[in-house]
Structure 1
């Protein structure tokens, strides 16, 4: 019994040993065929139909939808598909052509706009240069002189420029200060008389343009000169200090000629003038008078010494 049992077990084991690889191989083939989506039945039927005797016993494999279709219909469908594809391609080509044309038009418009802007900029530069050149060429000489004078005062020390400018009229000082930089203006105003500085500061605040300032300055100068002329006319005689300054600053030859002519009209005035000048100036004038008329000079000297 034990021997028969062992023999049966050995046969079953051999059977399993042979069948397991076969079963595994079949399962693996089935899985692979399923993964690759292969139609096994139709392929087997197609192969069997090619065998001369077996083809009578094996049914024909079913035709696919593509094979069952009518060739003419397939041709029509293919032609329709081709026409549709061509139309789509033509439509895409037309759209791209329009986009390219629009892009070219936009580029041309941008180039034209840029060129117009550049011409405008060039024109503005030319106008600015012409205006600057015209300003330099047509600048009023009076205004130019005022600027030069302001530059002169600004270049001086404030302590020296202030007393000189105080001799000007208020409107003239305003005109000069208006074209002067703030630093020089402040330094000179600090050294000026407080009242005059205040008057100038107020008028600086009220000024509008250079033309008005020039007119005001000229009017103030004319007014001052007219007042000085009236004062001079009202005074009958010059004081001794002014006579001294006048004849001291004159050349001795000119003073001698003038006094020689005056002596014929008013000898007393000639003696008065010679008494006001210094000894050095008097000797120079008398020396020149001797050259012109020695006899007349002798009379003058006699009068200077108290004679008649």
Structure 2
């Protein structure tokens, strides 16, 4: 019978004191949550004041502070990395613009080279036509015309004439002018 009384005292303690108290605490916590009270922080504050439990709760608070510091450091790193990315993107845009400008310059220069080559080809063609005209003339008339031209121009014209015709024309020219043209022909 003494076992039954002990058992009934334990039952009485759980059914009359422990379970209703636990239910009241849970009900009170739910009401506080609906009222907007932060129970977690309050529990940490109260638990932090308890002798043995307080050591573990303080560690949680310190870990939260360390985690917050780590989060702040990571956010600063992210911000600095984003700034660096923006700088690199600006540099890339600038380099792309420079590349485009250089490509445009290269295209322009290529067009100039092509037009100059065309002009040179046209001048050569014209000189060959002029040379044919001199060859069709009598050597005396060709010599008279070339004698009247400036030496550099006469040199261009005579350089396109065949060697046989050139010899006849130079023979009919003034000896000094012919010598100067021959000297320049030899140095080309």
Give the TM-score normalised by the residue count of structure 2: 0.42
Higher relative contact order (CA 8 A, sep 6+): 2
Give the TM-score normalised by the residue count of structure 1: 0.29
